[in-house]
Structure 1
Amino acid sequence: MKVNQIKIKKDMKVSELIEEFDGSGVLGSGRVSRACNLLAKMIADEDTNVFMSLGGPLVPGGLRFVISDMIKNGQVNLIVSSGANITHDLLESFGGSHYRDVGGDDEELNSQGIGRIADVYTSSEDFEIFEKEITKIFEKIASEKKVVSIQELLYEVGLLIDDENSILANAARNNVPIFAPGLIDSMFGLQLWMFNQDHDFTVDAVKDMHYLSDIVFNSEKVGGILLGGGLTKHYTLASNLLKGGLDMAIQITMDRPETGSLSGAPLEEAKSWSKAKCGSDLATVIGDVTVIFPLILAGALDKLDSD
């Protein structure tokens, strides 16, 4: 079978571009096409529960609305997030922002109260507001409950957020549970620890596993959207181990497999651990999530609209 040369035309739809990618072989464009087609299949299958993992600075990188809209539209059923993405989602809900085109030496940025995430910037003033607002929320929740799981805590926080674009708020209102096994490793976690110094309030991380395992066992099929690597990727994979693994999954990562790290491991490797089923449909794309995921999601939705 010959490789088709990609043709670009004026005013072409995203799905048409993906179709051009489809016949271009197994380099990057071909992988993008495969991931797009698999994502469309995942979203369209009513028997598949879609688990999404959020690793890396996806909210600072501009994907907050993308993720929130997928929750609103019923395209994702469960989220595993880093503590950082939760923190940055709340930062914006409390009136803060993420900034660009600031530049400057990092030591000078430090003196100005500016934190840098590659070429995205945050303000210490916004984090000061975050600290005050999240403490108020902790106080309200702790006045009603003394022991909660991480997922329950994030659900309760989401119910108290008045922001139609918030990931946490939309997840709570649409019954999409958010798990965050590394929550303590974030500004959210730091404030939670400080709050616990003088409050009788316990967060039980193990309690999450009861609820999560019930979701897995009650799912006819599970599909994974793995954005970035690390703990969130592994928690999503490992949560399905007791049922033989994911039925289908896509991952987008900048990491490579040669070091043996999980972040760069091809999804096929998960089959050896029963974290992805033998015969499962898998697609890995090496690249920047903030570029590739909006592209394949737009293509998948375009494809579904035309079917």
Structure 2
Amino acid sequence: MATQHIEGTQEAMILNQRQTSVGFVGLGTMGDPMASNVAGGGYDVRLYDVDIERSQALAARIGATALQSSEDLAGCEAVVFMLPTSAIVRSVLLTDAGVLRVPFRPGTVLIDMSSSDPNETLETGRLLAAHGVHLVDAPVSGARARAENGTLAIMMGADDEEAADRAEPIIQTMSERIFRTGALGTGHAMKALNNFVAAAAYTASTEALVAGERFGLDPQTMVDIFNASTGQSFVTTHVLEDHIVKRNYATGFALPLMTKDVRIALNLQQSVHHAAPVCEAVTGALSDALEALGNVDHSKAFEFWQQR
């Protein structure tokens, strides 16, 4: 009897998901597989991207609906955003005067999974709240492979607990673990700080590789020692050997995005009046590499620092 009750509950949950319309905006490297997982979770998914052909192709592949314009999102009960910056998210949602571009119904839940600036998220959330629309920030950690298999780590902030509770089942289709970080903006703050820590480890470890190689150390031996010693980090175990020592430079994380995230972390620290000399140094190193190299994989910065 208990088994029948559980099965009945699961069936009801699936039916409820199929009746819930979820918009998904931004179908790039990460957005494509994330939207696929939302559709795989049983939701009525409606896709929008500035590249209409991209949204149409994905819709055909996953059984979703491709929208012709962002205004068509108005009928969705929840909308996920996976866009490059918080400024772009804001431009999709609001005019400069704070008027809704999309006539969302009051109570609609918007889920910003982009790597956004937390201070801009707070301002956007305030403007949306004036229209009765709820914003939840839920940025992701994990590369495309984890987006594809639905095991992303999510940092979720929200001011409205009911909105967070409505967002969570949607997010679960894309996630292995959801961390509730607190009020609106804390998810984006945590993502920026996490990426700063990762970028600092990357900058420091590649700087050490350059110095060691010039002194006569073998790079592979250095990596092996890092990973058996206190210098071990995600960067030394997942980036250095495959992408630096072997010169593949294909982590899937672009240099402009890493630089943007570290700048967000620096702005965050400055906004809370915190001295951040390490963040300033990492921001400067990445900015120099970005100016010289442009839109390349972030691991390619090693060559710039090596030659400088």
Please indicate the TM-score interval, normalised by the length of the shorter structure.
0.3 to 0.5
Normalization by structure 1: what TM-score? 0.32
- Structure with the bigger RCO (C-alpha within 8 Å, sep 6+) is 1
Q: Quick check: which has more Rg, 1 or 2?
A: 2
Normalization by structure 2: what TM-score? 0.32
The structure with the greater share of residues assigned to helix is: 2
